[in-house]
Structure 1
Amino acid sequence: MSPSPVPPVAPVQSFKLRRGRMGVVRQEALAEHLGRYEVRADTDLDPVALFGNDHPVVLEIGSGMGDATLAMALAAPEVNVVAAEVHTPGIGALLQGVVEHGVTNVRLLEADGRTFLTERVAPGSLAGVRVYFPDPWPKARHHKRRLVGPDFVALVADRLAPGGLLHCATDWEPYAEQMVEVVAANPAFTLDPDRSRPAWRPLTRFERRGLALGHVVNDVLARRTATPRP
């Protein structure tokens, strides 16, 4: 695969590695079932080989504990989802749900989704990219670590098919403003002015905690245009 040229994504880690415990059931799920549902980080994304069909594919970067991922996959079985998460407990939790519900349209990538998007996804091959509640890196000196910046948006634009959707959500309002600014500045996207949560995106566990603390949640949605805006 030879991805088309896009501005390089800065090699800065945009997430914090956190330790977490896993129960026996999730450990057993990983041991017994991960091989069936795993996306290899060192292999180019081949949707037909991976899912056995040619349905549209969405990449979710940072699926967390996977509760929203699982709910959306169950609600839209005609959409294939690659869920990327760096924390093993989250992979275990989602895998447990996938197995218990007999979900066939989810595959799991235990790796940095941005790196996978850069190196292993062909241009114009995705129907969507989801980034829900990425680390906001609130301190000014850490803003360079935020995932959703100009280079990332340009990368997503290259990997999305025309009509594909970039969907970000955050409960950190300054980050939401940055997301809106960088997406609006990219002529490949048409930005939806409505920042409310669409009915088809379920609440996440992290989101519920933020709302309980009085945080305001913004959903930033942008559609990949067939012809870039002038």
Structure 2
Amino acid sequence: MQTREGVKIVRDGPVSFVRRELSMSPTRQRLWQDHLGTTILPVTRTFADTSVAPQSHLSVPDVWGQAGPLIVDIGVGHGESTFAGAVQHPQANFLAVEVYRPGLAKLLDRVVTDGLTNVRMVEANAPEVLDHMLPAGSAQEIWIFFSDPWQKNRYHKRRLIQPKFLDQVARALTPGGVLRLATDWSNYAAQMREVADAHPAFENLHPGRLAGPDSPLTLARLHGTDDDTPQPLEEALDDVGGWAPRFETRPVTSFEAKAQRAGRYIFDLTYRKIS
């Protein structure tokens, strides 16, 4: 991308999104404007509509008006997980991070209709939110559900869950804070587990769980759910495990239901920040 002056800018790490069409109905547009600067947090930009300037610091008590734990939901889509969590935990402060404005507007509609006061939203690239908006150690939990799997091998470097990104997550989490991940692509699930297990700041809260023939990774490989190429058991066997139970407040979205109808397995991972 380029600035208005024609200077080429390149982000130095994966971004949390693929920018999509931003058209909204007139009603949603009015709703957005009515809540811009309050529920929709203001952001100082640098070189792009989704960028976050280094001076964009966030004061959690001031923004939410209560001292509850901060839960950051990254890549929320239409906001189903944020909404469900905010309803179940009204004492917690929820920050929905997304670049797809119509998705945030749909969440905003539900938040306003139900009178929720503990949700704020930011239209921005998640790594920059973690770096610049959130104070170090401010988040109790960070959720990343179904980030883009970038299925082709040559695009794997674009996946969000990479060592550098986990450095940013670790900075934002309080000691003992929790990182929750979910995906429906088995090869991305395996990469998530490998990267997070190797990161010195995190420990898997369910080490060894569902290892062996009952592992969803074993089953996905046996059935070839990612690439229609089934593997024999000796190659498919996942002897590591570490898969978490389904997070209780995460609803089954239309996106996840479609993945299940296609025969893909759902993978959950949960980590605690230990350093």
**Structure with the greater alpha carbon radius of gyration:** 2
- The structure whose RCO (Cα within 8 Å, separation 6+) is larger is 1
Aligned length: 218
Instruction: Kindly indicate whether the alpha-carbon contact (under 8 Å) linking 2:16 and 2:126 is maintained by their aligned counterparts in 1.
Output: no
Query: Quick one: distance in 2 between partners of 1:41 and 1:31?
Result: 14
Q: Which amino acid aligns with 2:262?
A: L
The worse-fitting range, judged by mean Cα deviation, of 89-98 and 119-128 is 119-128
1:80 aligns to 2:93 (yes or no) = yes
Aligned to 1:36, what secondary structure does the other structure show?
Answer: coil
Query: Quick one: distance in 2 between partners of 1:116 and 1:202?
Result: 25
The superposition leaves residues 180-229 of structure 1 with CA deviations (integer Å, 9 ceiling, x where unpaired) of 1111111221113233312222222211111111111111110112xx4x
Q: Which amino acid aligns with 2:243?
A: D
Query: Quick one: distance in 1 between partners of 2:253 and 2:116?
Result: 19
Instruction: Kindly indicate whether the alpha-carbon contact (under 8 Å) linking 1:34 and 1:95 is maintained by their aligned counterparts in 2.
Output: no
RMSD (CA atoms): 1.6
1:214 aligns to 2:263 (yes or no) = yes
**In the alignment, what sits opposite 2:250?**
201
Aligned to 2:36, what secondary structure does the other structure show?
Answer: helix
Instruction: Kindly indicate whether the alpha-carbon contact (under 8 Å) linking 1:72 and 1:202 is maintained by their aligned counterparts in 2.
Output: no
1:190 aligns to 2:191 (yes or no) = no
**Alignment counterpart, residue 111 of structure 1, candidates 114, 120, 124:** 124
Aligned counterparts, 1:154-173, within 5 A: 154-173=167-186
Unaligned 5+ runs, structure 1: 1-8
The superposition leaves residues 82-141 of structure 1 with CA deviations (integer Å, 9 ceiling, x where unpaired) of 101101101110110110000011001011122111122221111111111100001111
Aligned counterparts, 1:14-163, within 5 A: 14-19=16-21, 21-42=23-44, 43-163=56-176
Aligned to 2:177, what secondary structure does the other structure show?
Answer: strand
Q: TM-score, normalised by structure 1?
A: 0.89
